[in-house]
């Protein structure tokens, strides 16, 4: 049996019941131990100098699904988070063009709580940012489910809709390049083929027949062109319970550097059908419907009728891309067993949510085939 099969099989028994995640840090996605490719932080002296203090204590937090690493800095009675960068991110920071800084400022200007930059250390490819603590929305939600406080969990999700409404209000670019990026048809189509490569092929071992491949290519482009026609709004791109922090009675957003233009339902389906939280199907439907109402109420230029048509195809595209990412992070990047989240994603890919006559191969035949192969 190959490595992929082992990873798949080990995931089947690991997600049926929500578990408390109190031990997780705000950025912890890859396990409790430091991963082999952890990036070292700058010297303590450089960090202390940037903060204008005599000494600091630095402790490792974690990495996430990206190549960034995080550390907590204790400076007297104050704490901060250090974001350690590499690759293109490091180059952007060196050239004073790192999008995280610029988009964080833009979100703050629109009343959205997001960590702000305290200091930059471009020579060390590092940022010092505000510390929003350790309580992720994921942690709060899982603890609530374990304690049978489902209404409290659903209220937490509904509270996140205020952030989504503010996202849609953002029209200016500030000094960021977010509006130069878009979920255009080419990007959305690429993501569906990414799913084919890293989930269908690498996880399920499923190679489409020539007829199936033709149908997939045709319908992938149809879905992508439909969604791209409304890619006119600010979207976070990765808006889920691990990228929302609970700080007091407020919610704050992290990991927003890849924001771009996209459909108004993109972030809504991302949070309502979050694979990290085992909500009931009826609860997810209720949340997405209330979320649509909230977006239209706060942004009257939106059409409830159009959004109601859009969210199903958006969910289909978003969840297939997520399956591709789970496969890629597990089999190619060795970031831990992300395949344990596959069952939760598959639970949302049902005809009532994603079935559509204009792309029936992908939304029906392909989805049925995935369910069957995953069970086997």
**Domains delineated in the chain:** 27-130 (3.30.200.20), 137-375 (3.90.1200.10)
Tokens of 359: 């792309």
Which backbone phi and psi does 73 adopt, to 5 degrees?
A: -110, 125
Tokens of 183: 């979920």
**C-alpha–C-alpha distance, residues 9 and 303, integer Å:** 43
Which backbone phi and psi does 24 adopt, to 5 degrees?
A: -80, 145
Asked whether the beta carbons of 261 and 183 are under 8 A apart, the reply is: yes
**pLDDT given for residue 66 in this prediction:** 66
Alpha-helix residue ranges (DSSP H) falling in 28-72:
44-51
**C-alpha–C-alpha distance, residues 341 and 237, integer Å:** 18
The low-confidence residues of the chain, meaning pLDDT below 50, are: 1-7, 9-33
**pTM for this one?**
0.87
DSSP state of 256: -
Asked whether the beta carbons of 135 and 244 are under 8 A apart, the reply is: no
Q: 280 in helix, strand or coil? A: coil
- 291-298 long-range contacts (CB < 8 A, ≥24 apart) are 291/158, 291/161, 291/164, 292/265, 292/268, 294/158, 294/161, 294/162, 294/164, 294/165, 295/161, 295/164, 295/165, 295/168, 295/264, 295/268, 298/162, 298/165, 298/168, 298/169
Cα 54 off chain centre by: 37
**pLDDT given for residue 28 in this prediction:** 39
Place of tokens 């989930």: 199
Give first-to-last CA distance, the chain, whole Å.
14
Q: Mark residue 349 as left, alpha or beta (left: phi above 0; alpha: psi -120 to 50; beta: remaining).
A: beta
**C-alpha–C-alpha distance, residues 5 and 18, integer Å:** 24
**pLDDT given for residue 318 in this prediction:** 98
């Amino acid at each position: 049996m190959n490595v992929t099969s082992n990873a798949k099989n080990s995931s089947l028994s690991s997600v049926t019941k929500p578990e408390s995640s109190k031990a997780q840090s705000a950025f912890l996605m890859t396990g409790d131990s430091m991963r082999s490719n952890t990036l070292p932080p700058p010297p303590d002296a450089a960090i202390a100098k940037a903060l204008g203090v005599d000494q600091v204590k630095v402790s490792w937090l974690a990495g996430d699904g990206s190549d960034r690493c995080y550390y907590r800095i204790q400076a007297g009675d104050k704490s901060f988070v250090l974001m350690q960068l590499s690759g293109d991110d490091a180059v952007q920071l060196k050239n004073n063009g790192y999008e995280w800084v610029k988009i964080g400022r833009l979100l703050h200007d629109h009343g959205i709580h997001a960590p702000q930059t305290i200091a930059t250390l471009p020579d060390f490819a590092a940022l010092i940012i505000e510390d929003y603590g350790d309580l992720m929305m994921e942690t709060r939600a899982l603890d609530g489910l374990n304690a049978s406080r489902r209404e409290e969990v659903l209220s937490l999700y509904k509270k996140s809709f205020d952030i989504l409404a503010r996202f849609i209000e953002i029209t200016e670019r500030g000094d960021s390049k977010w509006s130069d990026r878009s979920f255009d048809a080419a990007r959305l189509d690429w993501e569906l083929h990414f799913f084919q490569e890293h989930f269908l092929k690498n996880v399920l071992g499923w190679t489409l027949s020539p007829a199936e491949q033709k149908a997939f290519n045709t319908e992938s482009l149809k879905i992508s062109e439909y969604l791209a026609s409304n890619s006119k709004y600010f979207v976070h791109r990765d808006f889920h319970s691990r990228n929302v922090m609970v700080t007091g009675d407020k919610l704050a957003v992290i990991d927003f550097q890849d924001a771009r233009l996209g459909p108004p339902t993109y972030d809504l389906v991302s949070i309502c059908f979050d694979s990290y939280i085992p909500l009931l199907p009826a609860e997810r439907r209720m949340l997405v419907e209330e979320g649509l109402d909230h977006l239209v109420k706060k942004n009257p230029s939106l059409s409830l009728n159009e959004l109601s048509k859009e969210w199903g195809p958006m969910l289909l595209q978003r969840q297939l891309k997520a399956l591709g990412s789970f496969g890629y992070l597990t089999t190619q990047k060795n970031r831990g067993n992300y395949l344990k989240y596959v069952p939760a994603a598959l639970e949302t890919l049902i005809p009532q949510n994603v079935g559509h006559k204009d792309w029936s191969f992908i939304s029906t035949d392909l989805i049925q085939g995935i369910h069957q192969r995953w069970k086997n």
